[in-house]
Structure 1
Amino acid sequence: MRLWNSLLNSFFLVSQYNPHGFVELLMLMIASVMIIIATILPADMPYLVLGLSLGVGASISILVREAIAPSSQTRVTQFATLLLLFMSIYGFAML
């Protein structure tokens, strides 16, 4: 029970002190789950569309945040985000 309480407290602290990063992380986690489901069950195309759209939204949000307030690892973050954005757009083009 203490483990769950500790995890819940750290969950609330992260969401309070870094809300934009928390929302971006949540979007990327949900996108990953949706794309994995679409890969396992190829007949479920809405999961793929939802996962790709969440990936595009999260990557644009990260790029805007980095443009407004650059972090210490700006180049790495921008490269990874642009890679995710191009992969998501390519996935939409292949649909």
Structure 2
Amino acid sequence: MRFWRFWFNSFILSSQYNPPRFVEMLMVLLAIVMLIVWNFTLETPYMILGWSFVIGASISILVREAIAPSPDIRFNQLAAFFFLSISLYGFVYVFQTL
């Protein structure tokens, strides 16, 4: 029980300390889950939802870095552009298969 309480308290603390980063992390985790489910089921809605989460998190990262730059701004921007390019490639795949 102590183990779960530690993780729950860490979860609450991280959401209070930096809410935008927490939301971005949550969106990326949901995107990973959706894309893993898509790999097993090959249902298009899971892939579309996963790529939508990736696009939302990437745009949120870019906006957050533009408003309040962090010390590792270059890495965050490169990661966000990388996520955007992969998700756009995923959407091209979706539109080709429809």
TM-score (structure 2 length as normaliser): 0.92
d(CA) in 2 for partners of 1:91, 1:33:
16
Q: Residues of 2 paired with 1:11 and 1:28: CA distance?
A: 15
* Uncovered stretches (5+) of structure 2, i.e. residues with no partner: none
Deviations 1:69-93 (A, max 9, x none): 1111111110111010011011111
Aligned-pair Cα RMSD in Å: 0.7
What does residue 27 of structure 2 align with? 27
Sequence identity (%): 52
Q: Distance in 2 between matches of 1:72 and 1:55?
A: 23
CA distance in 1, matches of 2:66, 2:41: 37
Q: How does 1:1-95 map to 2 (within 5 A)?
A: 1-42=1-42, 44-95=43-94
Amino acid at match of 2:10: S
Q: Normalising to structure 1: TM-score of the pair?
A: 0.95
**Structure 1 segments of 4 or more deviating over 2 A?**
none
How many pairs are equivalent?
94
* CA deviation map 1:19-76 (0-9, x unaligned): 111000000000011011111221x110000000000000000000001111111111
Gaps of 5+ in 1: none
